[in-house]
Amino acid sequence: MIMSRYRRSGPSLHRHCETCFSRRCKVSIEVSVSCMVINCRLLCGASFHMCKEDEHSLLCPNEKVPCLNAHYGCPFAMCRSRLAKHLEVCPASVVCCSMEWNRWPLENPDAPLYKNLLKELHEQESLDLSMALRDQKHLCAQLKMRKCFPELMEEQEEEPPAVEEYDNEEGAVGSETVCNGMHVNEHGGPGGGLVNGPSKACEKALKENVVLNGPVDKDKYNLFEKMFSMEMGGCKQAEASASKTEEQNGKNTSSKGSSKRQGTSVEPEKKEANVSHVNLSKTGLAPWQDGVLERLGQEVNPREFNMYIVHHGRMLISFGQMDACTPRERDFVYGSLEPIPVQTLRSFKVPSSYKEKRIQLREFKTRVMTEHKCVGTSDLDMSEKDGGEMDEMFSTLLCYAEIEIRGHKISETVPTDGLYVDIATQTYNFATAPFKSNATLTEITAGRDLKLHVDLDTEAVTLRHNKSTSAFTFLCGHFFRRDEFASHFKNVHLDIQSSLSGWFEQRCPLAYLGCTFSQRRLQPSTHRAKVSYNQDLSIFTLTPEVSASLRSDSQTVPLKAHIKYEDSLSNLPFEVLCHIASYLDSFTLSQLALVSQLFRDICATLLQERGMVGFKWRKKSYSHGGTRWKPTKVWEFSTLFSKVGNWCIDDTPSMAEHLKHCPFYQTELKTEPFALTSMFDNKGKEKQRLVSLFMRCK
C-alpha cells in the first residue's frame, strides 16, 4: 500500500529487463520482451535498459534534488551526492544550545561588595555582575508566589451563574424546555413526556439551591446531565412500546358497534387521563428505575449487559439496584470459610544496648503531655523593628532553595513514624500581601531599588537536585547554524563563562570587604577586542578596539566636513558594501540590518549564505471563536561573534599594583620586635625535631 505511492507512472518494465542487471546485455531487442542498454544522461557511469531510466533517476547521484530540509525552509537544490555535505551549512539545519548552569541565592544580600557593585553599575561593566542580573531578572519572572505562600493569596470571588427566572403559573399551556438540544413538553404531550425533562418543581428547587447553597458547579452539572440524557433512548423505547399497545387496544375497541361507543364515551377520556400517569419507573432502562437489571437480562445480550454494568455500576450501587460486594450467603467460594486464629511467636530478643526514644514509647504515663495550640510571635516580646515586614525577594528565594536542595518546604508537615506527625508553622509578614492569584516575583518587587539576590559564581554541574524541576537552573537557549554551534560553545561557554571567577576576569582579593576593582586578563591572540555582555539579548559580544591613529585622524576632520560626509559609507557602490559586509560576523550583520533600508537590503543578500531560517508560530483567531497555530518562515542572523581560535594573556598590571593603593587594604606597621611562630617554645618541653624522632625510634 505504501510502495504504490512511489511506483512509476509510465509503462511497466519489459519481461527480460525486469531481471537483467548486466551492463553488456546482448539480448536482441523485441517488443514487450527487451529494450536497448543506454548510459546515464547525467554521466554518473551507470548503464541500464532504457525502460529503467525513470527508476534510475531516483538513485542517480548526479540528479538535482531539493535539500532534505526543504519543508523547513531551505531553498537550495543540488546533486544528490552533495546532500550530506550541504547539511553542515544548511540554513534550515538549526541547533539550539542546551548549555545549563546553576546560580543559587545569596545568604547575605546586604554584603558591602554587592552594594558597592550596584552603585558603580554604569561606571564599571563587570561580566559576572551583568550575567547575574540577567539571570535574576529571568528567575523573578518565573517564580510564582502561590507555590510558596498559598495562604497569602487573594480569594477569588466566583461569579454565580445567571439563573433564569421561570414563570410560576402552573397552568401554562404549550410551554417547552430545551434540554440537550431536545424539546421536552412539560405536560406529558407528544413532545416526549416528563422523562429527563426539567419540570417546574426541579427548576424551582435548582433556583432555591443556588440562592441558599451558593453557585452550582457547571462542569458537574453538565456531566450529570449528559449521563442522564444517555438513558433517554431507553425511556423513549418504553414509551413507544406503551403507545403501540395502546393503539392495538384502540383498534380492538373500534371493531365494536357504534352503540357501545356511545355507551362508553366517557371511558376513552379516562384512559387518556391514565396514560399520562403511566408509572415509567418500572419500564425504563435508567439506573434509578426499579427492576432495571432484570429487564436488561431479558432484552439485551450478555455483552451489552456487561457494558451497562461497567458504565453505570456506581449509579446502580448508589440507587440500591445492586450490591457493592457479594453477600456471604450467596458467595459459593468464600462463604463457607471460617476465620483461622493467628498465633504469634515472638522469638526476637531486644538487645541490651537498645534504648527507646521518647517518641517510640507507648506507655501513657511516660509520654510527655501535648496539646494543640496556635503559636505565634506575640509571646516573644519582640519590638516592631525586630519583627517588622519581611523582604519578599529574599523569603521567596529562600523557600524555593529549600525545595530544590532538601526536597520540601520550610514549613511542611513531616511524619516521623506511623503514629506521630510533626506539624510545622511559619509566619510571614509581607507589606504587599495578599497577592494576586497568578502574581510573580517580578510583579511584587516592581518599582523597587535594584538589589542583587543571586550569587556571582555559577555551577555548571550539580548532583544536589533534579535539574528538570530546578528553579535555579538557567538555559542558554540560543539558536545557531550547525556550522556555528561549535564556535559558540567553545568561545562563550568554555572560554568566557566558565572562567569568569578569577581567570578571564580577575577581582581584587579584598572583594569580600567591598572592593569592586576587576580587570580582564585574556584577549584574542589575533587582535585586541573587548568582551561585553548584553543583558537585553542575553549574549556575549566581542567589540574590536580601534587604534589610536584612526581615532586621531577622525578627530582632525573639520566640523563642516562631518556634516557634509556624515553618511559617506552609504555613498559607496552597492557591490562594495556587499563585499565589506561579507567580512562581518553574524551578530554584527543582525545589528547592521537595523540601520537603514539600504543596509537591510545588503544584509539580505547574505541570508542564504550566513543566515538561518526557521518557523515562527503565531496563534490565529477566527470569527467563529476557534483558534489555530500557523507557522511562518523567518530568515534571521544568529548572535555569534567572530571566531576566536586562541586567547592570550593581556599586558595588564599585576594585582599587587592595585593593592598598593586599594582603599580596603589596611597595613599594620610593627615598631617593636615580636617572636615568630617557629621561635616559640613551651617551657618544660623539648622541641620536636626530626633527628630526635629517629633516635627515639631506634
Q: Check if the beta carbon of residue 409 is closer than 8 Å to that of residue 399.
A: yes
- The residue ranking higher by pLDDT, 462 or 20, is 20
Please, what is the angle between helix 597-604 and helix 574-581, to 10°?
A: 60
Poorest-pLDDT segment among 91-105, 143-157, 288-302, 674-688? 674-688
Highest averaged pLDDT of the listed ranges 229-233, 362-366, 459-463, 493-497:
493-497
Residue 576 included in any domain: yes
Domain finish residue from 51, 72, 89: 89
Positive or negative CA dihedral for 43, 49, 50, 51? negative
User: Does residue 409 lie in a domain region?
Assistant: no
> What is the band of 539 on the pLDDT scale with cuts at 50, 70, 90?
very high
Q: How do residues 495-536 score in pLDDT, each as one tens digit?
A: 999 888 888 999 999 999 999 999 998 999 988 899 999 988
Given the DSSP bridges, would you call strands 522-524 and 77-79 parallel, antiparallel or unpaired?
A: unpaired
For 32, the grid coordinates are 514487450
Pick from 339, 337, 450, 345: which is nearest to 393 by CA?
A: 450
pLDDT of residue 189: 42
pLDDT for the residue 684: 47
Domain that holds residue 589: 568-645
Distance between CA atoms of residues 679 and 676, nearest Å: 5
475 and 493 in contact (C-beta within 8 Å)?
no
Last residue of a domain, one of 34, 60, 89: 89
Q: Is the residue at 676 inside a domain?
A: no
- Output the average pLDDT for the chain: 76
Whether the upstream peptide bond of residue 434 has omega within 30° of 0, thus cis, is yes
| C-alpha dihedral, 248 to 251 to 256 to 262, nearest 10° | 100
Burial profile 118-133: b = 16 or more Cβ within 10 angstroms, e = fewer: beeeeeeebbbbbbbb
Helix 292-299, helix 302-318: angle, nearest 10: 170
Higher-pLDDT residue of 274, 545: 545
Length of the chain: 698
Rg of the Cα atoms in the chain: 44
Q: Is residue 456 part of a domain?
A: no
pLDDT at residue 317, as a whole number: 82
| CATH at 22 | 3.30.40.150
**SS (HEC) of 667-682:** CCCCCCCCCCCCCCCC
The total of structural domains in the chain comes to: 2
| Euclidean distance between CA atoms 284 and 296, whole angstroms | 10
The answer to whether position 654 is within a domain reads no
Question: Please, are residues 480 and 488 in contact by the beta-carbon 8 Å criterion?
Answer: yes
Q: Which of 293-307, 413-427, 468-482, 633-647 has the lowest mean pLDDT?
A: 413-427
pLDDT value at position 135? 93
- Do residues 278 and 289 touch, judged by C-beta distance below 8 A? no
pLDDT tens for 132-173 read 999 999 999 999 988 888 888 887 765 555 444 434 433 333
pLDDT attached to residue 61: 94
Instruction: Indicate whether 273 pLDDT > 50.
Output: no
What pLDDT is recorded for position 29? 86
According to DSSP H, which parts of 593-639 are helical? 597-604, 607-610
State pTM to two decimals: 0.61
Q: Is residue 155 part of a domain?
A: no
Whether 596 contacts 616, CB under 8 Å:
no
For residue range 80-106, what is the model confidence (pLDDT) as tens digits?
Answer: 999 999 999 999 999 999 998 989 999
Residue 115 grid cell = 552594594
Nearest Cα residue to 600 out of 590, 615, 614, 613: 590
How do 479-481 and 94-96 pair as beta strands?
A: antiparallel
**596 found inside a domain:** yes
d(CA 176, CA 157): 34
* Residue that is written with C-alpha cell 539580505 in the block: 604
Q: Measuring CA to CA, which residue among 212, 209, 211 is closest to residue 220?
A: 209
Q: Which three cell numbers stand for residue 84?
A: 550530506
Give me the residue label for grid cell 618541653. Answer: 685
Question: Burial, 362: exposed, middle or buried (Cβ in 10 Å; 0-12, 13-18, 19+)?
Answer: exposed
Give the CA distances from residue 488 to residues 115, 184, 528, 586, in Å, rounded to whole numbers and listed in that order. Answer: 33, 70, 19, 11
Last residue of a domain, one of 72, 89, 106: 89
Q: Cα 360 to chain center, whole Å?
A: 44
Show contacts of 178-184: CB within 8 Å, 24+ apart: 179/225, 179/229, 180/225, 180/226, 180/229, 182/232
Inside any domain, residue 327: no
The DSSP secondary-structure symbol of 70 reads G
SS3 166: coil
User: Which amino acid is present at 244?
Assistant: K
Tens of pLDDT, residue by residue over 328-379, are 677 666 666 777 777 777 676 766 665 555 545 555 455 556 666 655 555 5
Range from 189-198, 404-413, 583-592 carrying the lowest mean pLDDT: 189-198
- The count of other CB atoms within 10 Å of the CB of residue 620 is 10
Q: Which among 140, 149, 146 has a CA at the least distance from the CA of 474? A: 140
